[in-house]
Amino acid sequence: MAEKMGILGRKLGMTRIFAGDGAAVAVTVIEAGPCPVTQVKTVEKDGYNALQIALTEAKEKHVDKAMRGHFAKAGTGLFRHTREIRLSGAPEQQPGQQLTVDIFAAGDVVKVTGKSMGKGYQGRMRRWNFAGSKDTHGCEKVHRNNGSVGNNTFPGHVFKGRKMAGHWGNETVTEMGLLIVGVRPEDNVILVKGSVPGPKNGLVLIRKQ
């Protein structure tokens, strides 16, 4: 699926700003870019249009040999993170160029992709919001248990996808319809109103909708 232009950044945390009418607006501060273009893909050569962008400079010892050659071909430094953004039209950028927060403006609607906060191993009540068993007479020490999950002799196994205890969070999440309320090119900062996934310092990909 073709996408519009985007940029990589890090979620710094939250603050608030005051709108023109004096209303306090809660915003997430994202330090985005500058992101060098490390590869350009086209329909003629690769079958689709896309840009590969990078973020966070890295030492040579932290980059494997294949990626060192890849970055050298693009004429950029070494980086820790790369992401690909599919484009609806032919890319205008060339390898080595940089994308900055200037591609956005206040009032733009964007979608933000990141890793949700990991919650570790959780029981079914917290993970799936189950009610649990009644806390009255005749229900001893099973108030938060799973209850029956199996079947009879046929099919003789628990169906895949059953809501049970397990690892919660730490999944790739995309939040749609977030509003950019401020762009500060001098600081490489974007102010976003809405729910931005991930923890502080988490890597996020911001794309226009």
Provide the pLDDT for residue 1.
Answer: 44
Task: State whether residue 186 is helix, strand or coil.
Answer: helix
Q: For the chain, how big is the Rg over CA atoms in Å?
A: 23
Sheet architecture: strand order including 79-86: 79-86, 50-57, 35-41, 98-99
pLDDT 10s digits, 102-152: 999 999 999 999 999 999 999 999 999 999 888 888 888 888 888 888 888
pLDDT 10s digits, 26-54: 999 999 989 999 999 999 999 999 999 99
- pTM (two decimals): 0.86
Kindly list the structural domains of the chain, giving each domain's residue range(s) and its CATH number in brackets, ordered by start: 6-145+161-208 (2.40.30.10)
Residue with tokens 């962008």: 53
Token duo for residue 195: 């729910």
pLDDT 10s digits, 39-95: 999 999 999 999 999 999 999 999 999 999 999 999 999 999 999 999 988 888 999
